[in-house]
Chain A
Amino acid sequence: MSDAFLQVRDLKVHFPVRTGGILIGEYTPLKAVDGVSFDLNPGETLGVVGESGCGKSTLGRAVLQLVGATDGVVSWLGTDLTSLNKKELIAARENLQIVFQDPLASLDPRMTAGDIIAEPLKNYRPQMTKAERRAEVKDMMERVGLLPRMINRYPHEFSGGQCQRIGIARAMILKPKLVVCDEPVSALDVSIQAQVVNLLKSLQREFGLALLFISHDLSIVRHISDRVMVLYLGKVMELADKSALYAQPRHPYTQALLSAVPIPDPAKERNKDRILLTGDLPSPLSPPSGCVFRTRCPKATEVCAQHVPQLDPVEDGHTVACHHWNT
């Protein structure tokens, strides 16, 4: 990539967790994100999938520096965000926004929809007059499918889907270049999910913004992403173009994940060969040696316990971290 947009290199986020000690605590690092690297291009959507505890939300937050990185580089338009001081970071965040999972909890209950959407403008465009701001907010409300006359209402007066539209309007009002969407539709009903996914897609086309779309729902990720990254216990298992990942998943974990997703088609569901994983996610405090997935992997052998698999290129733009992907 010559024009560096977002480059994440070997990003690590470790949280110290107290595991013992009476007077002097003993701490074990919880490796929420452990050596993740990826690029994101302008106008592109990268889907991040994985089960709970795989570090996908922490990754999204670390990209925006909402949680500090333990190690690694988050290079945004050529600047390493991890090296910026608070003031510089605030300036950089004009182009970096986030949409959260819980639509109601992410909105201040004592602010009106209009004030919530206008807040980024107040912070980053202080020269705007109140009337200009209001006009801009109404314009944005219309674009995200909210009635502009609802500008003075409070979050509790809106439905879940509408609250998520407010959250999206707030993220979009500065016309950012990158928006991290952290499970933006998981809390919504199916019929509303589709509306919000379509809205995100059309806003992306309109503003040319890049999305980091974090979700546990592989069906939705398929519909919105250009490329998809699969995480497991803080590590990248597979990263590929959407078409390659869904048509020919190479990592045993990706294969199991995809085969576990129920398809709304009774005939297909009944005849599906499911790869059932045994057991549960190991504790992230004491991850397995070697490949972190080996304890649940149907292909695991001795080598998996001894060596951490590196990301191997399968073909252009498709990498997989597995000792046995081609066997």
Chain B
Amino acid sequence: MPSVLEIDRLTVSFDTPDGAVQAVNDVSLSVNAGECLGLVGESGSGKSQTFMAAMGLLADNGTASGEIRLDGVNLLSAKESELNKLRGERIAMIFQDPMTSLTPHMRIGRQLAEVVIEHKNVSKDEARQRALDMLKRVHIPEAERRLDMYPHELSGGLRQRVMIAMALMCEPAVIIADEPTTALDVTVQAQILDLLMEVKDTLGTAIVLITHDLGVVAGLADRVAVMYGGRIVERGTVDEIFAQPAHPYTQGLLKCTPRLDTDTETLVTIPGQPPNLQSLPPGCSFHPRCPHVFDRCESERPTLDEVASGRAKACHLETLEAAQ
């Protein structure tokens, strides 16, 4: 499958009063057309910043180096005008909190229409019609009435549907969904995940699903990359990652996630704390928490090596024993 978005040796760092912090370190990823790539990690793992850099949305004190290519354009060196042409039309983003990402004082219809007026140069009436069609497509009931509503008049689930509709307005090649269901209740989450699946299957839009929830990834993603301390530690198909995790962090994450379909007395834990990006441990960032640590891990950082086609891990262990 051809890749639509390619991230090549991306590094993102932030200037802070306490010195530079590397939030993303040497990350390479590709997103293929029509697939869903799950990007998993805990807070501070760099999963969001990787794609904030792609969207040109880093905070003022952030700088990105490396290359992010979309349609042959390097987004990191592109001019603002070039970027504005691609953003919304070829690549769009859905955020966690739909209330704060919609403009509160603008009616839904106008917010949606704005996207096509900007990019497709259509008339206002045409844009409104397209907005209406899109609201229907994301299964918003009473779509005509919603066009003239303000965001605060909608529930959280409907707002997220509006966000998805807005992202789809120009039928982009890639949608970045950053924790799209974290703020939603579980029954509404199920509705939104269904919708994203439908978007992927019917429109062939590639979706990057950024989340900490392994359950969400399991249902939607085709391929998964796991991040820890600003780096990708493991990459593979969703079945490989869940059935045979090759990195001890992935394995630990899977084991410590409480599952609805099992009932164990004590949950397995990953000991210790997530790493502090300002003082990452030497060698492998995960070694202070790793049950399989040996001396090489403390001195030498493992590189992300391809172990099979499409499957890579950054770990010194030859093989990782399967979890019992």
Known: A52-B185, A257-B187. A263 touches B268 (CB 8 A): no
Do B215 and A194 have beta carbons less than 8 Å apart? no
Do A263 and B259 have beta carbons less than 8 Å apart? yes
For chain A residues 231-283, which have a beta carbon within 8 Å of chain B? 242-243, 246, 256-270, 272, 274, 276-277, 279-281
Q: Hey, which chain A residues are within 8 Å of B188, CB to CB?
A: 51, 280
Inter-chain CA distance A19–B224, complex, in Å, is: 49
Interface bits B241-285 vs A (CB < 8 Å: 1, else 0)? 010000000001110111111011011111101100000000000
Kindly provide the distance from the CB of B277 to the nearest chain A CB, expressed in whole angstroms.
Answer: 13
Residue of B nearest to A49 (CB): B186
Kindly provide the distance from the CB of B22 to the nearest chain A CB, expressed in whole angstroms.
Answer: 19
Do A198 and B269 have beta carbons less than 8 Å apart? yes
Partner of B256, one of A52, A190, A261, A272: A190
Do A263 and B261 have beta carbons less than 8 Å apart? yes
Inter-chain CA distance A246–B259, complex, in Å, is: 12
Known: A52-B185, A216-B185, A265-B218. A190 touches B190 (CB 8 A): no
Known: A190-B212, A261-B215, A266-B238. A195 touches B269 (CB 8 A): yes
Do A194 and B258 have beta carbons less than 8 Å apart? yes
A219 at the B interface (CB under 8 A): yes
Known: A194-B258, A268-B261. A280 touches B218 (CB 8 A): no
Residue of A nearest to B219 (CB): A269
Residue of A nearest to B211 (CB): A262
B191 at the A interface (CB under 8 A): yes
Inter-chain CA distance A261–B258, complex, in Å, is: 11
Kindly provide the distance from the CB of B198 to the nearest chain A CB, expressed in whole angstroms.
Answer: 12
Kindly provide the distance from the CB of B301 to the nearest chain A CB, expressed in whole angstroms.
Answer: 21
Partner of B186, one of A195, A201, A242, A257: A257
Inter-chain CA distance A162–B272, complex, in Å, is: 10
Do A260 and B261 have beta carbons less than 8 Å apart? no
Kindly provide the distance from the CB of B154 to the nearest chain A CB, expressed in whole angstroms.
Answer: 9
Q: Hey, which chain A residues are within 8 Å of B3, CB to CB?
A: none
Interface size on B, residues (CB 8 A): 46
A191 at the B interface (CB under 8 A): yes
Interface bits A122-160 vs B (CB < 8 Å: 1, else 0)? 000000000000000000000000000000000000010
B216 at the A interface (CB under 8 A): yes
Q: Hey, which chain B residues are within 8 Å of A256, CB to CB?
A: 187
Inter-chain CA distance A177–B170, complex, in Å, is: 59
Main secondary structure of the interface of A (DSSP, over half): helix
Do A222 and B193 have beta carbons less than 8 Å apart? no
B141 at the A interface (CB under 8 A): yes
Q: Hey, which chain B residues are within 8 Å of A192, CB to CB?
A: 273-274
For chain A residues 191-218, which have a beta carbon within 8 Å of chain B? 191-195, 197-198, 201, 216-218
Kindly provide the distance from the CB of B153 to the nearest chain A CB, expressed in whole angstroms.
Answer: 12
Inter-chain CA distance A246–B262, complex, in Å, is: 10
Do A198 and B266 have beta carbons less than 8 Å apart? yes
A173 at the B interface (CB under 8 A): no
Bin chain A's interface residue count.
35 or more
Do A51 and B254 have beta carbons less than 8 Å apart? no
Known: A197-B267, A198-B266, A220-B258. A189 touches B274 (CB 8 A): yes
Do A266 and B260 have beta carbons less than 8 Å apart? no
Inter-chain CA distance A195–B267, complex, in Å, is: 8
A161 at the B interface (CB under 8 A): yes
Q: Hey, which chain A residues are within 8 Å of B219, CB to CB?
A: 262, 266, 269-270, 272
Do B254 and A276 have beta carbons less than 8 Å apart? no
For chain A residues 1-60, which have a beta carbon within 8 Å of chain B? 51-52
Do B213 and A262 have beta carbons less than 8 Å apart? yes
Do B269 and A194 have beta carbons less than 8 Å apart? yes
Q: Hey, which chain A residues are within 8 Å of B259, CB to CB?
A: 219, 263-265
Q: Hey, which chain A residues are within 8 Å of B271, CB to CB?
A: 195
Kindly provide the distance from the CB of A172 to the nearest chain B CB, expressed in whole angstroms.
Answer: 19
Q: Hey, which chain A residues are within 8 Å of B186, CB to CB?
A: 51, 216, 218, 257, 260-261
Inter-chain CA distance A242–B274, complex, in Å, is: 32
Do A223 and B264 have beta carbons less than 8 Å apart? yes
Q: Hey, which chain B residues are within 8 Å of A263, CB to CB?
A: 215, 218, 259-261
Do A262 and B215 have beta carbons less than 8 Å apart? yes
Partner of A265, one of B189, B242, B266: B242
Do A264 and B254 have beta carbons less than 8 Å apart? yes
Kindly provide the distance from the CB of B284 to the nearest chain A CB, expressed in whole angstroms.
Answer: 16
Known: A51-B186, A197-B267. A261 touches B260 (CB 8 A): yes
Inter-chain CA distance A263–B193, complex, in Å, is: 13
B42 at the A interface (CB under 8 A): yes
Known: A189-B43, A190-B253. A222 touches B260 (CB 8 A): yes
Residue of A nearest to B214 (CB): A264
Q: Hey, which chain B residues are within 8 Å of A194, CB to CB?
A: 256-258, 267-270
Q: Hey, which chain A residues are within 8 Å of B213, CB to CB?
A: 262
Known: A51-B185, A191-B42, A201-B266. A262 touches B256 (CB 8 A): no
For chain B residues 193-237, which have a beta carbon within 8 Å of chain A? 193-194, 212-219
**Interface residue ranges, B against A (CB under 8 Å):** 42-43, 141, 155-158, 185-191, 193-194, 212-219, 238-239, 242, 252-254, 256-261, 263-264, 266-271, 273-274
Q: Assuming A191-B42, A191-B256, A220-B258, what are 15 further A-B pairs, CB within 8 angstroms?
A: A191-B270, A194-B257, A197-B267, A219-B215, A219-B259, A222-B263, A242-B263, A259-B190, A260-B189, A263-B215, A263-B261, A265-B261, A266-B219, A267-B239, A272-B219
**Can you list 19 A-B contacts with CB-CB less than 8 angstroms, sorted by A residue number?**
A159-B274, A194-B257, A195-B271, A219-B260, A223-B258, A223-B264, A259-B190, A260-B187, A261-B260, A262-B189, A262-B193, A264-B217, A264-B242, A268-B218, A277-B191, A279-B141, A280-B156, A280-B158, A281-B155
Q: Lowest 10 CB-CB distances: which A-B pairs, in order?
A: A262-B215, A269-B219, A264-B214, A260-B190, A51-B185, A194-B256, A191-B270, A194-B267, A189-B42, A219-B258
